[in-house]
């Protein structure tokens, strides 16, 4: 028997899943700890006395149905999502509950839109892929920067990461995405995804103070190229990554994030700087914070809270910017994110 506060977390013992479990608890929800490994689940349940652990496998629909019994929503933190997203969305639709994931895999995010848009809409259900740092935050910032514009010529999303110590899940997802695109690169231009083999350009991006100008890799394409065009008419969506963080990610000896504070956050800091252009006008907004994995938890949990309290704008498969009041959503995260809206470019 579930409670109206039971939110299932698939992949609960992963690095991001643990942040999500902690955030749900802080927000007064009762996380159901879901995953495929019984020993890891039991170890996690020992760390969180009183929480229920339920073993479930993406390959076994009946186990997912049992695991979601009594849950009011599910947050999928188990990646690679090429394997887990579709079975979990199917299970959420069977259970009649909203589905949110933290996937940063372009192809998996596209699959969620392509395969489930009609069924989710017909069921009046909400399915939100990429409700995390990549894909979610960028889309909320672009939507906020757009303001009353319904279309723009270009959207640029520059990631100013101080460093990037990737988790095993990030590396595995990168490998799966790379295989799915046959080792090719991808960018979003002329209103569509384009696969190519061009070298990635290095340029300087003028991040707001105190970070200031940084060397970035251009066309470092992230999930925002799925989420932003899913609801905004912007034919050019470009994403950039600080060269230092890009080098960290691809280093052969890349190490996992190390906790430096009581919340388990690493020392990594980020600025996400968004610039949209339309007819010669520019609008800009940026957000800064600490630890891209940790910030994904308040993003996903805020989304669930808004869905469960009826503060949504649509049904079906939707990105963060389409599903929610983007500026209001970002303001609600003020204890995790500092927003920067320069007056000289607003208008």
Ligand X SMILES: NC(=O)c1ccc[n+]([C@@H]2O[C@H](COP(=O)([O-])OP(=O)(O)OC[C@H]3O[C@@H](n4cnc5c(N)ncnc54)[C@H](OP(=O)(O)O)[C@@H]3O)[C@@H](O)[C@H]2O)c1
Residues binding ligand X (CB under 6 A): 11, 13-17, 35-37, 40, 58, 77-81, 83-84, 102, 104, 130, 132-135, 167-170, 173, 223, 292-293, 296
Residue whose CB is less far from ligand X, 152 or 289? 289
Q: What is the CA radius of gyration of the chain?
A: 19
Shortest distance in whole angstroms from residue 17 CB to ligand X: 6
Q: Which residues does 341 contact at the CB level (< 8 Å), separation at least 6? A: 284, 285, 286
Query: Which helix H or strand E contains 172, and what residues bound it?
Result: helix 168-180
Shortest distance in whole angstroms from residue 303 CB to ligand X: 12
Residue whose CB is less far from ligand X, 130 or 303? 130
Residue whose CB is less far from ligand X, 10 or 205? 10
**Token pair for 243:** 């060269």
Shortest distance in whole angstroms from residue 37 CB to ligand X: 4
The label of the residue with tokens 């938890």 reads: 297
Of residues 333, 337, 330, the one with CA closest to residue 142: 330
Q: Which residues does 62 contact at the CB level (< 8 Å), separation at least 6? A: none
Residue whose CB is less far from ligand X, 126 or 292? 292
The phi and psi torsions of 236 (rounded to 5 degrees) equal: -120, 115
Shortest distance in whole angstroms from residue 203 CB to ligand X: 23
Q: Which residues does 89 contact at the CB level (< 8 Å), separation at least 6? A: 99, 112, 115, 116, 120, 127
Report yes or no: 295 and 337 within 8 Å, Cβ to Cβ: yes
Shortest distance in whole angstroms from residue 283 CB to ligand X: 24
Residue whose CB is less far from ligand X, 219 or 224? 224
Shortest distance in whole angstroms from residue 253 CB to ligand X: 17
Separation between Cα atoms, residue 130 and residue 336, nearest integer Å: 18
Residue whose CB is less far from ligand X, 220 or 283? 220
């Amino acid at each position: 028997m579930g409670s109206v506060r039971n939110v299932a977390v698939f992949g609960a013992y992963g690095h991001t899943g643990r942040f999500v479990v902690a955030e749900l608890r802080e927000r007064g929800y009762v996380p159901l700890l879901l995953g495929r490994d019984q020993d890891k689940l039991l170890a996690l349940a020992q760390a969180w006395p009183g929480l229920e652990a339920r073993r479930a496998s993406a390959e076994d629909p009946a186990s997912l149905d049992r695991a979601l019994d009594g849950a009011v929503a599910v947050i999928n933190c188990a990646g690679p999502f090429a394997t887990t997203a579709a079975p979990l969305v199917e299970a959420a639709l069977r259970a009649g509950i909203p589905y949110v994931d933290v996937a940063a895999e372009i192809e998996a995010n596209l699959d969620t839109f392509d395969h489930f848009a009609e069924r989710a809409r017909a069921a009046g259900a909400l399915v939100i892929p990429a409700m995390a740092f990549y894909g979610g935050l960028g889309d909320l910032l672009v939507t906020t920067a757009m303001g009353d514009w319904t279309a723009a010529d270009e959207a640029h999303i520059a990631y100013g990461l101080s460093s990037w110590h990737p988790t095993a899940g990030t590396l595995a997802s990168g490998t799966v995405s790379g295989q799915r695109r046959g080792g090719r690169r991808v960018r979003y231009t002329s209103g569509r995804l384009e696969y190519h083999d061009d070298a990635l350009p290095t340029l300087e991006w003028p991040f707001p103070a105190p970070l200031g100008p940084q060397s970035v890799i251009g066309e470092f394409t992230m999930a925002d190229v799925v989420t932003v065009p899913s609801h905004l008419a912007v034919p050019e969506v470009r994403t950039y990554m600080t060269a230092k963080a890009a080098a960290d990610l691809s280093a052969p000896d890349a190490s996992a994030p190390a906790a430096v504070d009581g919340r388990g956050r690493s020392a990594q800091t980020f600025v996400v700087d968004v610039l949209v252009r339309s007819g010669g006008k520019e609008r800009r907004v940026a957000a800064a914070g600490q630890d891209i994995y940790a910030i994904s938890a308040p993003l996903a949990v805020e989304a669930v809270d808004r869905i469960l309290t009826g503060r949504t704008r649509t049904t079906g498969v939707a990105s963060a910017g389409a599903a929610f009041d983007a500026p209001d959503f970002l303001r609600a995260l003020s204890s995790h994110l500092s927003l920067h809206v320069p007056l000289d470019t607003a208008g």
